[in-house]
Structures are given as structure tokens and as C-alpha cells.
Amino acid sequence: MVSTVDYDAIILGAGITGLVSASVLKEQGCRRIIVIDEFDRLGGNHIDCSIGPYTFDIGSFIFQDDSPLLAHFPEMLSDYVPIDPSWGKLTPQGAVASYPLSIKEDILRSGLWGCARIGLSVLFSRFARAKIDNARDFARYWIGDYLLRRSGLESYMMRFFGVAAEKVDLDFAEKRMLWLKEHSSPKALLRHLTRHKSVVPTNRQLARPRSGYHDLYSIAAEKLRRQGVVFRLGCEIDLIRKAGPGFVVEAGDDRYVGKRIISTIPINRALASCRLGVDADLTSVTLISLFFSFSGRRGFDCSVLYNFSHDGCWKRLTVYSDFYGAIEGREYFGVEVIASQARDSIEFAEQDFRSHVSRNNLFAGDLTLEGSRLVPHAYPVYVNRAQEKVAAALAKLRAFGVESFGRQGGFDYQPTARVSTQNAEAQLRARA
């Protein structure tokens, strides 16, 4: 099919960035907009999997009712499930403690000599080390070598980045680990110690509806459709070429003509579609998600548990039955593992998880693997001065005429839908 419509904008990707971009462009007076995605459902990397009576997410997704996303699509609010999540970590000492740092487990339990070593190593890191070059240096600067190891943060960083922390660029560490700076400032430590309970969250925490993300984001898409936005899902893009003052997007037998291209798909996909070459250094993490059901004694109370111990390749688990209720007496949860940490093998990831939790006295009872999923492009990791390479790739696309931004489109670690919304608004408003 060759589109006879000359679109004002063609948006590639129907994730948060794509949906918000359509909404902002509408506000700016753009009349004819089409959103194209190779996935056959809305929401991009917000992926859920229904297996039997259970619905899992590929990771830990928690939203808030004051998200700017809801300013675009307020109709979605009533479909979220209000939740009361809590976060914890499994420490290298085998305890479940507060996430990300626990004054009691990480510091006080280290004893007098341990506390002295923590103090000395922080002083050394702050005043004697000259350079902060990478993610490891960054963490060391804030909490010192000794606490970095004792708290398990060093091991978690390896699990999160998929490569040793000293290989990860400083920009990425600053983006992903800002909390470290916030938690280890003298003011924050004093707040912890005096147990000042002044930080009561003013927003409500939310999870997706039971029926999944597609239903949730269909509410947003329906609103956009009523404003004239067209959606083409399950449509793989082959080629983007220039035609007169605009562009043609070729997808199978279909052709879409537009004046403007907004790309939110992985940056290398956009480069390849424009025949601009790809940059092999712009690598993203592939995630293995394992989905379990369980009955027995789980051994911890929090709904999200991070693995800070020195072994076990799993990174984080989320107990969805805490949000949606157990099913026939069984709890159910998802486990995230960076594929490269598990020899790119789902079987290895499962066996490793089972033996690790058993060694740590977690999930004593009947633990059944219900399914799994491999997610490429889960998040970008900055290695080998990626920032410069991203800037070069974005400049190439810009010179070709493609505006590329978002978590994949900007190769930008956007931790939340809130940040992705704000980024899309800022990008499009700046251009307007």
C-alpha cells in the first residue's frame, strides 16, 4: 500500500516517547501524524507476559500518579493499580536489608574496626584520590573502597552494567547512580542516623492494570486517534529515504510519505534504515526475565529485592502477587538477569537463581518456572566513551533530517516514564 496522505510527522516507535511526541505535536498544531512500530502492541519496552493465570512484567515497573505522562493522558489514571511497594537488598552477608544502603547492616554490623575502616577509606577516597574516570571511581569517591565491597554495591554494579564498573563511562554512572551521591552526603547520613521521618511520599505508587500495558496505552492511543493520529503496529521499517522536501518510510509493501521523521527506535535501527551505517560500540543490554510461581516461605517481606551479594547472577526480583494478589495460594514473581552474566542462557540463569536463593534461605518451598523472555535493547550501557559516539550518530541522523530521541532513540538511560515524557516534551518544544 502506498499512503496517499502526506503526513506532517511520521513517528517511529509507540513507546512512551512515541505516544508523548504525538501528543505534543498535536498541541503544536501538527494535523496529520502517523505512529509506526514494529511491535504489534503499544508501550515499547513496557512488556508484560501472561502465562496461565499469571501476568508478569519483564522487569520492575512502578509508576506515580504525579507523572507528567498523565498530564497528556489523564484518562489512564483510573486503570492503574495503586500499590504500596517496598524495596530491599540481599546483602553479601546473607541478610535482607534496606536498599540501596543500610546503615545497620552495611555500617554498624561491621563492628568497631569495620566502622573505622569505612571512615578511613571514605576519607582516603575523597581527599587522596586524584581522578574520577569511570563508574567505579565514582562509587569509590562517595562511599570508599571498603563500604563499596562490604555493602555489595560493587558486585551489583557488575550485574547491572554487564561489564566491570571500571569500563563504564563516568557520564553513565552519574546518571544511573545519582542516588549514591544523595545517600552518602553528610546531610543524608545524619538524616538516617537521627531517623527523621520527614520524607513521606506525597505521590501514590502505581502498577499497570492486571490486563497489561497494551490495554493501558490503548487508552492513550484512543485519545490520539480521536484527534486524528493514525497507528500502524506490527510494521517493520525497511528503509527511510528522502523524497523532495520530505521523506518516504518503506515498510514491507507499505510506503508512508511525511514532512518530518521523529525516531524513538534503537539508534542503530534508525541509522541502518537511513543507510547511514551503524556503530557497533553503541551496545545495549539484553535482559533475561524469568517468571516463577511459588508457595512456601519466601524469606523476605519487600516486593522488590536487589541482589547485592557477591555471587548469583540475578540482578533484581519483583513479587507481582504483592500488587495483584496471590493466585490459588501461589505467589508469583519475575527475576531480571543480564544475559551476558548468565552465559546468554536461560537454563543457566534459572539454575543459578535456584541454587543462589537456596544458599541464602530464600524461597523454601515449591518454586516453579512458569516461563521466560529474552529482551534485547533493555537499556543502553555507556562504555568506550559512548557519549561522543552517540553525539556523532545523532548528528548524522540530524543531518539526514531525522529527529531521534528517547531511551532507545537518544541512546539515553531514561530510568522512568516520567523522564522520558519530560525529555520528549523538551526536545519537541525546543524545536518548535
Ligand X SMILES: Cc1cc2nc3c(=O)[nH]c(=O)nc-3n(C[C@H](O)[C@H](O)[C@H](O)COP(=O)(O)OP(=O)(O)OC[C@H]3O[C@@H](n4cnc5c(N)ncnc54)[C@H](O)[C@@H]3O)c2cc1C
Report the interface residues with ligand X, using CB under 6 A: 13-18, 37-39, 44-46, 58-63, 264-266, 375-379, 406-408, 414-420
CA dist., res. 102 & res. 422, Å (int) = 32
Q: Based on CB atoms, which residue is closest to ligand X, 39 or 124?
A: 39
DSSP state of 188: H
Q: Based on CB atoms, which residue is closest to ligand X, 148 or 237?
A: 237
Residue 247: CB minimum distance to ligand X, A: 18
Contact 292, 305 (CB under 8 A): no
Residue 315: CB minimum distance to ligand X, A: 9
The alpha carbon of residue 204 and the mean position of all alpha carbons in its chain are separated, in whole angstroms, by: 20
Q: Based on CB atoms, which residue is closest to ligand X, 365 or 415?
A: 415
Look up residue 121 and give its three cell numbers: 577509606
The C-alpha torsion from 66 through 67 and 69 to 73, rounded to 10°, is -20
Place of cell 502506498: 2
Q: Based on CB atoms, which residue is closest to ligand X, 84 or 328?
A: 84
Comparing every residue's Cβ against ligand X, the nearest one is: 44
Q: Based on CB atoms, which residue is closest to ligand X, 48 or 105?
A: 48
Residue 71: CB minimum distance to ligand X, A: 15
Those residues whose C-beta lies under 8 Å from the C-beta of residue 40, and which sit 6 or more positions away, are 233, 234
Residue 370: CB minimum distance to ligand X, A: 18
Residue 245: CB minimum distance to ligand X, A: 26
Q: Residue 401: which of 265, 262, 257, 275 has the closest Cα?
A: 262
Q: Based on CB atoms, which residue is closest to ligand X, 86 or 93?
A: 86
Those residues whose C-beta lies under 8 Å from the C-beta of residue 175, and which sit 6 or more positions away, are 413
Is beta strand 48-51 parallel, antiparallel or unpaired with respect to 304-307?
Answer: unpaired
Residue 376: CB minimum distance to ligand X, A: 5
DSSP state of 297: E
CA dist., res. 288 & res. 430, Å (int) = 37
Residue 184: CB minimum distance to ligand X, A: 23
User: 12 - beta bridge partners?
Assistant: 36, 263
Q: Based on CB atoms, which residue is closest to ligand X, 22 or 257?
A: 22
Q: Based on CB atoms, which residue is closest to ligand X, 170 or 417?
A: 417
Residue 104: CB minimum distance to ligand X, A: 26
Is beta strand 87-90 parallel, antiparallel or unpaired with respect to 63-64?
Answer: unpaired
CA dist., res. 148 & res. 143, Å (int) = 6
